[in-house]
């Protein structure tokens, strides 16, 4: 009886082991295909899967400020829009490198700038997570491995579906459905904004040299490849611009100096006249659809007047 019991026990263990192995194989196969589907959609959303003449690079300020579809319709060619919430200057350098590895016909990068871009604070501390879907890219893999914890890195490396947050899944789906709409409807509450500023609740401007140098590295990389860069200031509302007006002007001067120093740099400043038109803003730094439409029209007109058509 004891021997029979042991044989049955061994049989159950082998069966359980086979089931577990089959489950793991099925899991990783499914995970592999889910990863491919989500990545393809995200690449379509960012414009990484097609060669383009012009690419937009920045965070939500530029994302909500410029209408990619409107640009394509009026200019007559495809535009990549590699924008994501919370990305800092170092992230944007990586985004440019990623774009160039995917697109070999880029002539111009439109790079979103603002008075706070060198401050660092106020952006996502976990912005490296936005690059999880692209761990197959060597430069991104190195960046993510250095930025996150060892366990975090290996989990994302081995299980592809864990690379996608709710926001990235949403962007992937928008890529499949070709949706780049600005959904920030409504207008900024001016009185509430003024009260917040009076209480000291505003983001300070701090022109960190390391961040300035990182932007310069991106400019020099593009110069070597013969690619122009437009430093585009999508308007931020005048009320916040005036809180630290001297520091704001100091940042603007940095952009002007870069334009004067580098032949491939152009600084395009749309603060005037739009920063005073409060009905164009969803919040102090983001435009609503009406504002996006007006600023996009202004950008298209500028590109046509300067031969980028």
CA–CA separation, 284 and 277 (whole Å) = 11
Q: Give me the CATH code for the 2-305 domain, please.
A: 3.40.50.1110
CA–CA separation, 159 and 307 (whole Å) = 46
pLDDT recorded at residue 236: 97
Residue range 249-263: average pLDDT?
A: 97
pLDDT tens sequence across 92-132 = 999 999 999 998 899 999 999 999 999 865 555 678 999 99
pLDDT recorded at residue 49: 84
pLDDT recorded at residue 246: 96
Residue range 263-286: average pLDDT?
A: 97
In whole numbers, what is the pLDDT of the chain averaged over residues?
92
Confidence grade of residue 248 (pLDDT, cut at 50, 70, 90): very high
Look at residue 124 and give its three-state secondary structure.
Answer: coil
User: Of 115, 92, 117, 113, nearest to 233 (Cα)?
Assistant: 113
Q: Which residues pair with 268 in a beta bridge?
A: 232
CA distances for 87 relative to 31, 59, 63, 92, 127, angstroms: 27, 5, 11, 7, 6
Residue with token string 């949706």:
179
Identify the residue with better confidence: 125 or 7.
125
CA–CA separation, 253 and 259 (whole Å) = 10
pLDDT recorded at residue 15: 80
Q: Strands, DSSP E only, in the chain?
A: 54-58, 79-83, 108-112, 228-233, 265-269
Q: Residues with Cβ < 8 Å from 52, sequence gap 6 or more?
A: 77, 78, 79, 80, 103, 105, 106
pLDDT tens sequence across 8-20 = 566 677 788 888 8
Confidence grade of residue 2 (pLDDT, cut at 50, 70, 90): low
Asked whether residue 3 carries a pLDDT value surpassing 70, the answer given is no
Look at residue 136 and give its three-state secondary structure.
Answer: coil
pLDDT recorded at residue 308: 65
Confidence grade of residue 149 (pLDDT, cut at 50, 70, 90): confident
CA–CA separation, 268 and 256 (whole Å) = 9
CA–CA separation, 54 and 35 (whole Å) = 28
Going by their DSSP bridges, the two strands 79-83 and 108-112 should be labelled as unpaired
pLDDT tens sequence across 25-81 = 999 999 999 999 999 999 999 999 888 999 999 999 999 999 999 999 999 999 999
CA–CA separation, 281 and 274 (whole Å) = 9
CA 287 distance to own-chain centroid: 16
């Amino acid at each position: 009886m004891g021997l029979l019991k042991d044989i049955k026990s061994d049989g159950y263990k082998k069966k359980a082991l086979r089931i577990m192995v089959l489950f793991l194989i099925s899991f990783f196969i499914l995970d592999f295909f889910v990863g491919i589907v989500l990545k393809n959609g995200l690449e379509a959303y960012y414009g990484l899967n097609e060669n383009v003449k012009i690419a937009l690079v920045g965070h939500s300020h530029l994302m909500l400020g410029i209408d990619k579809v409107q640009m394509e319709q009026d200019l007559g060619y495809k535009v990549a829009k590699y924008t994501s919430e919370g990305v800092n200057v170092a992230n944007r350098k990586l985004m440019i490198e990623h774009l160039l590895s995917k697109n070999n016909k880029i002539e111009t990068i439109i790079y979103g700038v603002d008075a706070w871009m060198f401050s660092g604070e106020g952006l996502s501390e976990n912005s490296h997570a936005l690059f999880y879907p692209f761990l197959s890219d060597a430069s991104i893999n190195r960046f993510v491995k250095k930025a996150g914890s060892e366990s975090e890195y290996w989990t994302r490396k081995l299980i592809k579906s864990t690379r996608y947050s709710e926001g990235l899944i949403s962007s992937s789906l928008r890529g499949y459905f070709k949706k780049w709409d600005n959904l920030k409807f409504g207008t900024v509450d001016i009185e509430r904004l003024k009260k917040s500023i009076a209480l000291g609740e505003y983001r300070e401007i701090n022109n960190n040299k390391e961040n300035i140098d990182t932007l310069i590295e991106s400019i020099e990389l593009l110069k070597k490849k013969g690619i122009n860069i437009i430093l585009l200031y999508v308007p931020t509302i005048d009320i916040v611009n005036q809180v630290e007006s001297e520091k704001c002007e100091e940042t603007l001067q940095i952009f002007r100096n870069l334009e004067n120093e580098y032949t491939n740099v152009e600084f395009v400043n749309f603060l005037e006249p739009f920063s005073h038109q409060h009905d164009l803003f969803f919040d102090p730094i983001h435009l609503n659809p009406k504002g996006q439409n007006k600023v996009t029209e202004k950008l298209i007109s500028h590109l046509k007047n300067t031969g980028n058509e």
